[in-house]
Amino acid sequence: MTIIIFLGSLLGAMALGIPIAFSLLICGAALMLHLNMFDAQILAQNVINGADSFPLLAVPFFMLAGEIMNVGGLSKRIVNLALAMVGHIKGGLGYVTIIAACLMAALSGSAVADAAALSALLLPMMVAAGHDKARSAGLIASAGIIAPIIPPSIGFVIFGVAANVSVSKLFIAGIVPGLLLAVGLWFTWWYLVRKEKIAAPARKTFADVASAFGQASWALGLPFIILFGLKFGWFTPTEAAVVAAVYAFLVATFVYRELKLSQLVKIFTDAAKTTAIVMFLVAAALVSAWMITVAQLPDQVVELLKPFMGNQTVLLLAIMVLVMIVGTAMDMTPTILILTPVLMPIVKAAGIDPVYFGVLFIINNAIGLITPPVGTVLNTVAGVGKVSMDEVTKGVMPFMVAQFAVMFLLVLFPQLVMLPLKWFY
């Protein structure tokens, strides 16, 4: 009965068009009423406690770093470097998109910010070169979702807080899976464009490549600062977010000189708006999470999944399919906040490493950003690139299949996640 109350109140509120944050509050209140323990003071206290988290301070600063990166010229120079390196290969603009997405992912951690920047910079170039517009938009959308996997990742911060898992370990564990997603896109693009009759531009000279590298070197320095800072304990993930924002500001203002002080108000306002949405979602989700624990909902779910508990791989496959289904109808952040308190007790009871599960869970949620009909990144690419939603959806399908294949490969071979983590840590 508790599961029915939980799902019925949450899905019912969402079906009525109530925003997800308020739906989560309604869900928590419904569980309180069901257990005869409704207290408005407890409800308010849990909302306050939900936002009162030091690790969550990373979210606004990573959001700010992403905004500065796009306005201040860091994204443009990374794209120019990728063009100089592989732009001359057949289908080179697609490979440029993948490389640029990986480099930009190491700067912002936001799929929407990266997809918007790539759409504005590369989609017109790909269409002008003769590539199919829908396929190009699909590749850009798929490449954009690498951002929540390669550190720094806002998704890992939110999951780490919700699941009480080390954010630093999640960051490090996400590097290889993020690169494997890029490899999957690389081979898919190669297969799709191998028969295209598009003339590639001339190869850049060594001097051109060196110049592009020199221009991008300041932007490329940020990922190394963050990774080595975490590795050697110079700063926490939250402090790394501050470092990222300050570094991006200094480079954009004093090195590239593209960021004007008059633009700061809009940048801070945009970052603050996005942060407010995320933080309110997190605060509201803690009410539901607390009630889920009090109502012993995870124990009931464990009972339902007992047939799978003896085999970690089968259990993970079942969970991944569940998250895939939820991802088609719900955005990444609410999915993390709703499912994490339900799934983590199951994962721990089955003896699955929480960091390994977190990587798989965030990959699945990231792919959900390009699954229709709700896919946020799909909508971003369609809006920025002036492409119809139907075209983007059609173009993204082969790349989405490749990324799901990589995810299930990681389910079958956990060593691909855990061995690099153990080596680095």
Q: How large is the average pLDDT for residues 126-150? A: 89
For residue 51, give both structure tokens: 């936002």
Flag whether pLDDT at 123 surpasses 70: yes
Picking from 210, 192, 179, 217, the residue whose alpha carbon sits closest to that of residue 134 is: 192
Picking from 69, 242, 102, the residue whose alpha carbon sits closest to that of residue 174 is: 102
Residue 34 lies in a domain: no
Q: Containing H/E element for 132? A: none
Flag whether pLDDT at 239 surpasses 80: yes
Structural domain containing residue 245: 39-424
Residue 16 lies in a domain: no
Residues 6+ apart with CB under 8 A from 307: none
Average pLDDT score over the chain: 83
Q: How large is the average pLDDT for residues 19-43? A: 77
pLDDT of residue 236: 78
% of the chain exceeding 90 in pLDDT: 18
Secondary structure letter of residue 205 according to DSSP: P
Residue 30's Cβ-side half-sphere holds a number of Cα atoms within 13 Å equal to: 20
Measured distance CA(302)–CA(297) in Å, rounded: 9
Q: Read off the pLDDT of residues 367-391 as tens digits, 9 standing for 90 and up.
A: 988 887 667 788 788 888 888 888 8
Residues 6+ apart with CB under 8 A from 63: 110, 113, 154, 271, 274, 275, 278
Measured distance CA(314)–CA(198) in Å, rounded: 44
pLDDT of residue 404: 95
Residue 18, Ramachandran bin (φ over 0: left; ψ between -120 and 50: alpha; else beta):
beta
Which value, in Å, is the radius of gyration of the alpha carbons in the chain? Answer: 22
pLDDT of residue 398: 94
Residues 6+ apart with CB under 8 A from 401: none
Q: How far is CA 270 from CA 55, 266, 403, in A?
A: 21, 6, 30
% of the chain exceeding 70 in pLDDT: 92
Q: Is 405 helix (H, G, I), strand (E, B) or coil?
A: helix
Residue 65 lies in a domain: yes
Lowest mean pLDDT segment, chosen from 29-33, 262-266, 299-303: 299-303
Measured distance CA(406)–CA(180) in Å, rounded: 7
Residue 369 lies in a domain: yes
Q: Read off the pLDDT of residues 185-197 as tens digits, 9 standing for 90 and up.
A: 999 999 988 877 7
Confidence (pTM)? 0.80
Number of domains the chain is built from: 1
Picking from 140, 149, 47, 139, the residue whose alpha carbon sits closest to that of residue 108 is: 149
Flag whether pLDDT at 361 surpasses 90: yes
Flag whether pLDDT at 350 surpasses 70: yes
Q: How large is the average pLDDT for residues 79-85? A: 83
The secondary structure of 69-106 as a DSSP string is: HHHTTHHHHHHHHHHHHHTTSTTHHHHHHHHHHHHHHT
Inter-residue contact 401 to 135 (CB < 8 Å)? no
Kindly indicate the confidence band of residue 21, based on its pLDDT and cuts at 50, 70 and 90. confident
Flag whether pLDDT at 267 surpasses 80: yes
pLDDT of residue 401: 94
Residue 10 lies in a domain: no
Flag whether pLDDT at 403 surpasses 80: yes
Q: Read off the pLDDT of residues 301-321 as tens digits, 9 standing for 90 and up.
A: 666 777 777 788 888 998 898
Flag whether pLDDT at 232 surpasses 80: no
Kindly indicate the confidence band of residue 225, based on its pLDDT and cuts at 50, 70 and 90. confident
Kindly indicate the confidence band of residue 44, based on its pLDDT and cuts at 50, 70 and 90. confident
The better pLDDT of the pair 124, 11 is held by 124
Residue 111 lies in a domain: yes
Residue 18 lies in a domain: no
Picking from 376, 397, 327, the residue whose alpha carbon sits closest to that of residue 113 is: 376
Picking from 267, 278, 333, the residue whose alpha carbon sits closest to that of residue 65 is: 267
Q: How large is the average pLDDT for residues 238-262? A: 86
Secondary structure letter of residue 201 according to DSSP: P
Residue 6 lies in a domain: no
